[in-house]
Amino acid sequence: MVVNRRISVSAAPPVSRTASTQPAVRVPELSMPSVPNVHSQPDEPKKKRRRKATKPKEKIVTYPRLLQVLFALFVVSVYASVVCRSDFPQSLLLCRSLDLYRRQIVDPYILPPVESVIQHAEPYVSTLKPYAISTAKFTRTHITPHISAFIDSSLFYYHAEVAPRLQWLIVDRVWSGVMKPLYFDTLHPTLERHTRPFYNDHLAPGASKVVAYAQATCVRVLPHAQHYLLNTRKNAARVYEVVRLHMLDLHQRIRPHVIVFLDQAHTHALALAQKAGDLRRQFIDPHVRKILDKVTEKYDPSSDDSSTDSSAHPLVGSLSDVPPLDIVIT
């Protein structure tokens, strides 16, 4: 009988349950792209980035720029209208340019279309003119008085009711009650604290220098100005005396001739008046007498022929008694 011998097996070592003894799952390492160090390699050239082409921004004409252009055009127009009128040979470049522009552009290309439009619209304007006149007359007689009355009543109501309430609300309540205390309590100290040093450091020295220079200039110029003013007054008084003597001499020499001229004018005026009276009695009075006779016959047909005599009518009889027209010039 054969007996197998048992082989002794050593016991397994104790297994720990901590994380360090557990089998870890291995992940294959990923190769990261190497980033060049700018600080460590300064000699390596940098790659230029391509920038996208952007559209140029359109220039926006602002209102101050437009106002400056309009003001410049206005000044040039006024200057040209004042100077180029007297510059007949056109010695100035501006006048020559404006004249060339007028002859080559305005006269052949601008004025003919405008004149044709005016001539084309003239019949329609003449057709609408009576309606416009009637509309203006109706507006002046029926609408304007009501509008004037409404404006007067509105102004009266505004000055009586609205203005005091606005004064009380805006000035007394809002400005004096809220805005003014708020400004002097909060904003004014802050502005004073920030602006006073700047004024004292930069503006005050310059202002004091300007004031001192102006005072020194005034002190230096004032004696010369007073001297020139005194000389001007003396020269003006001297010129006045000389001119006064010449004017008195001229008056003494002209006065007899003026008196003779006035006497002759008076004589001729009297003769002319006498002649006008004679012509009136010769040519006008007979026609007036005939007119009065016809009027008398029209309103008194039953009277005989003797009633048409000049002595029968008081007005006709008075025509012969009308004295000649005498004009007395003193």
The reported pLDDT for the residue numbered 322 is 47
Closest-CA residue to 312 (of 295, 326, 325, 327):
295
User: Between 42 and 124, where is the model more confident?
Assistant: 124
Tokens of 203: 């503006």
For residues 249-269, average pLDDT:
92
Tokens of 99: 């004249």
The reported pLDDT for the residue numbered 43 is 47
Find where tokens 């007028």 sit: 102
CB atoms < 10 A from the CB of 316, how many?
20
The phi, psi pair for 299, rounded to 5°, reads -90, -10
For residues 223-241, average pLDDT:
91
pLDDT in tens, 299-318: 765 554 444 444 444 444 44
Cite the DSSP H helix spans in the chain. 63-86, 93-101, 111-138, 144-157, 163-166, 180-182, 188-198, 204-279, 285-299, 314-320
DSSP state of 307: G
User: Between 282 and 11, where is the model more confident?
Assistant: 282
Tokens of 67: 């106002």
pLDDT in tens, 87-110: 566 677 878 888 888 888 888 888
pLDDT in tens, 157-215: 999 999 999 889 888 888 888 888 888 888 888 888 888 888 888 888 888 989 999 99
pLDDT in tens, 204-221: 888 898 999 999 999 999
For residues 214-243, average pLDDT:
91
